[in-house]
Structure 1
């Protein structure tokens, strides 16, 4: 990737590979929080010129280190600075919503040398939607910059009546400070070093500066990562690339965690989606459940807080609906865009219920269901009253908001729901995966209601789910193809294009065993499986395009939702093929990181082809390797009934997998899976849950 990004909580920095924020970059570089750019320029200069990059490391999410050197500088034949004589090291991190950057210069010139280090900065306070060219609108006014010894301050008064400030400070005496620029004059002997630390505070509304000394801030940040890593189960295998993927996934999910007041949850991804996203946050939390269930609780509470309360066509809001996305910038705050929050996703509401059920399956925490009972009731009511617009048992979407999203499933681009003849489907549209989510949600919530003593409501939900199952298998199944349609259009006509969407319903229980087998088989045939993962659309379909966003590309999270179903159903051959493809794809991306998506070309190109503007790191892509582990173990706890079902398998390229200290219920579970004489053997190394462990594959019961 040709950018560098670091994030902590709600503040993120996006720079070029030299560490600079400069205009006219492919990505709109800057320091961002609350959907506002608080730095639009941040450029290091050596005697007024840009340094030359040597090394730029973006692998550590919370800290970035960049090495640079000076260009050769002469004036009128007189040497100013010999080329590559000074090494410059830029180290930056974020803590407590403050950016810290240390610039360290080390001289390798054989004699004493003097030079100027300059920092040129600016802050335009532009709304994220304007930065990205999506919207224009009425905005506030920027005040003149103020500069004084040790400090530069940029100020802005928004039309949303929020005062915003960017304050840049430093800890060494400057030669000159003027406007947005500060210059230091340093003299160094051979081998001598000097450094200056800048702090940048992005002040929003009533926030005040909370900058600490650099060492204390760095230690606190490192300690928080240590606590995070120590809280996770330990995964060990003899497959080194899988091991790296797990570490990368948990590291990326940690950096994407944010707390807006209701507990930590994963934002969707960087650089552009560092905000609460209904669908994305919920699915990432679902992937993370075997590793950290507390994040799921924070996600559920955040979504519950923003649950829809009224009918508002401008926001596609309805009572009980779980939001799609919330933005905090000037345009959203003044209602110029409908994102404060926006509710245009048809799947967030059943996914909210699914995540709640699975969280309780892992934790046994029924008090969470009691706490969120009003939100459960409202979500179920939304499904039946507003989601099912015409009473045909299917949940459909239709855009009401003039500045909203037309396609409101996870494939939300305008061309993603297309008939086999190339015509785009018109809404209201009922998506196949959404019906599976609803079925899974209703059957799961029924179990919770039963545990809470409401057997009448439980029976009602199960009856509704069974009616949906019958109608889904009748109306979505394409007998001539042996597969499910992606959707039904406004006329209830099947949208028959072969896509990955029906794969999401494998985990739901809505399919018969025979049809589930056919779905898994279709997904791993050559037209759907690229060699690096399951495509979003089959090769040869009218809408197929391997370079497209949703019509032939490969999305790791899409694959992960399918894998969870394959693992649950024991479709091991197909599952291992998909996991193996994604692991191979990861070798072709920087830092062993699965991106948001990549192109759907097959293996003839000898590598997975990047999609030009994929988010990286991205939450549900980061969570995908964690789903590999759950799928390989085939582990699906049922804490309410005090049992843990496992159905373990190993990839052909591995002989052992050990997972220690998975939290289930109020205890931990440790498992070891080995290949011995060609057969897979599983051992329970530790079980303090008090639950029975049942291995379906080996028909063993472990107490």
Structure 2
């Protein structure tokens, strides 16, 4: 007898290989995304199927003979639209006198997201000489936890989960949130399991030699559709067509060098999967998983970097952010009139104001970057119609720099969070320990970051250029303000004895001396003198 045909408890358990636990892959569709491991499993950690900042599926695991299959290969398609896992069975429990050795059944899981739903095909192919009785299990659960709960923020109370509803081919989970919103999720199968509970579906398939069988699974917000081949193929086709359409927008760059060309293509595909078409136009979300939502800074920088290839991103970002400019003073969400949004969230905790990020303005750099992007967009496209339409927004944003952006009147743009619930640091390095002195002391606010002064310099120059082009007043004053900022940065941030610019100036007027990459942003906006730029 083949030594691979022994009892199942002698087979290696691949679930304990520590190196595999770090392999998480993501797919996205609009405001939904899925994070799973290399097998395609959701195991209840930081992974899951998420929609609108809420985790729907918290467990979704495939077992064959009560064990995960061995892993042969896994990955995303080049367009990031489709995940595929290839594996094989471990030795199966004996049926009578017959053992099924490992490696006889090829296991393929192929999936995509479409319309907020997961569409998956499980394909089982028997390469053996005998019919195989194949025990298949799907484990599942839905916890409806807010994104920030999954990230580790505790809650004093949660809503209530109803008893799961089973109908033979599907299970429906329902959660009544404290925000008054009812959220639901379904896991449905194309074939009825022989046993189904609120957390598990058991199947037994007889697969003839040299034959295959397919099981289709869908998960997401509850509906009454039955999974099947037609729905799976249609979803897969639409997901790939959408990826191609978004990727093809704007100009295309090719390279004779194969590796560089592949890098360019993958970069375009990565931007495409992050881009979501909103009513205001396309918007590049900040990142999957935790930041799959509009962020001000991230959207602006991405749109600016893509401006030479695809100006539609900048147009979409400008329109979206202009519609959400602050008109009030609120300490909880760090808003002041004229300020541009930092982040927005749609989950239960944001709706209940357990966190301030429903519509949050705690970013000191987003407002000047918004103005600077508008100037770059006008220069690149000549689209005066859009700039005329958002001109009042631009006027309010540029006024914010002097009215609220400079809190202590020293001529520098600074920040200090208005409430303890907000971000303690409000530049692109926003972790609590990111701004500090040589001796390790954290900088006390209000803090003026060196790169933010550069963004303000670029914003005033952009306003001057736009005003000149559109025939609006104020160009000379904005040009003068930009030059005054240039002089202030050169005088106050340059550390002559070290030959570089300080990271920041704190509330006591003391420079933060650690050498960082932040001053490099000054090169981007053209602020430094030629001799200092060369250093």
TM-score (ref. length: structure 2): 0.91
Residue 81 of structure 1 corresponds to 100
Q: Give me the CA root mean square deviation.
A: 2.0
Q: 3-state SS of the aligned residue for 1:259?
A: strand
Question: Are 2:158 and 1:123 aligned?
Answer: no
Residue 498 of structure 2 corresponds to 481
CA deviation digits over 1:395-438, x for unaligned, max 9? 00001121111111111122222222332211101111101101
Question: Are 2:119 and 1:67 aligned?
Answer: no
Question: Are 2:40 and 1:19 aligned?
Answer: yes
Q: Is the 8 A contact 1:81 1:115 kept in 2?
A: no
Residue 37 of structure 1 corresponds to 55
Shift of residue 138, structure 1, vs aligned partner: 2.3
Q: Is the 8 A contact 1:11 1:97 kept in 2?
A: yes
Residue 372 of structure 2 corresponds to 354
Q: Is the 8 A contact 1:201 1:209 kept in 2?
A: no
Measured at CA, do residues 237 and 311 of structure 1 come closer, stay the same or move farther in structure 2, by a change above 3 Å? same
For residues 245 and 37 of structure 2, what CA distance do their matches in structure 1 show? 31
Q: Is the 8 A contact 1:147 1:180 kept in 2?
A: no
Shift of residue 240, structure 1, vs aligned partner: 3.4
Q: Is the 8 A contact 2:341 2:360 kept in 1?
A: yes
For residues 117 and 154 of structure 1, what CA distance do their matches in structure 2 show? 22
Residue 472 of structure 1 corresponds to 489
For residues 241 and 513 of structure 1, what CA distance do their matches in structure 2 show? 35
Residue 213 of structure 1 corresponds to 231
Q: 3-state SS of the aligned residue for 1:118?
A: strand
For residues 35 and 307 of structure 1, what CA distance do their matches in structure 2 show? 22
Residue 150 of structure 1 corresponds to 169
Measured at CA, do residues 502 and 85 of structure 1 come closer, stay the same or move farther in structure 2, by a change above 3 Å? same
For residues 342 and 226 of structure 1, what CA distance do their matches in structure 2 show? 33
Shift of residue 232, structure 1, vs aligned partner: 4.0
Shift of residue 184, structure 1, vs aligned partner: 2.7
Q: 3-state SS of the aligned residue for 2:519?
A: helix
Measured at CA, do residues 221 and 413 of structure 1 come closer, stay the same or move farther in structure 2, by a change above 3 Å? same
Deviates further, 327-336 or 56-65: 56-65
Residue 126 of structure 2 corresponds to 107
2:528 to 487, 493, 511: 511
Shift of residue 35, structure 1, vs aligned partner: 1.0
Measured at CA, do residues 76 and 292 of structure 1 come closer, stay the same or move farther in structure 2, by a change above 3 Å? closer
CA deviation digits over 1:235-263, x for unaligned, max 9? 23344332222112111111111234322
Residue 460 of structure 2 corresponds to 442
For residues 76 and 47 of structure 1, what CA distance do their matches in structure 2 show? 11
Q: Is the 8 A contact 2:190 2:226 kept in 1?
A: no
Question: Are 2:411 and 1:393 aligned?
Answer: yes
Measured at CA, do residues 404 and 209 of structure 1 come closer, stay the same or move farther in structure 2, by a change above 3 Å? farther
1:170 to 174, 179, 189: 189
Q: Is the 8 A contact 1:145 1:180 kept in 2?
A: no
* 5+ long unaligned stretches in structure 2: 1-21
For residues 378 and 27 of structure 2, what CA distance do their matches in structure 1 show? 33
Shift of residue 121, structure 1, vs aligned partner: 0.8
Measured at CA, do residues 360 and 514 of structure 1 come closer, stay the same or move farther in structure 2, by a change above 3 Å? same
Residue 512 of structure 2 corresponds to 495
Residue 277 of structure 2 corresponds to 259
Residue 343 of structure 1 corresponds to 361
For residues 156 and 276 of structure 2, what CA distance do their matches in structure 1 show? 28
Residue 7 of structure 1 corresponds to 28
For residues 181 and 511 of structure 1, what CA distance do their matches in structure 2 show? 63
For residues 285 and 109 of structure 1, what CA distance do their matches in structure 2 show? 53
Measured at CA, do residues 209 and 447 of structure 1 come closer, stay the same or move farther in structure 2, by a change above 3 Å? farther
Shift of residue 135, structure 1, vs aligned partner: 3.7
For residues 141 and 80 of structure 1, what CA distance do their matches in structure 2 show? 46
Shift of residue 75, structure 1, vs aligned partner: 4.7
Question: Are 2:213 and 1:194 aligned?
Answer: yes
TM-score (ref. length: structure 1): 0.70
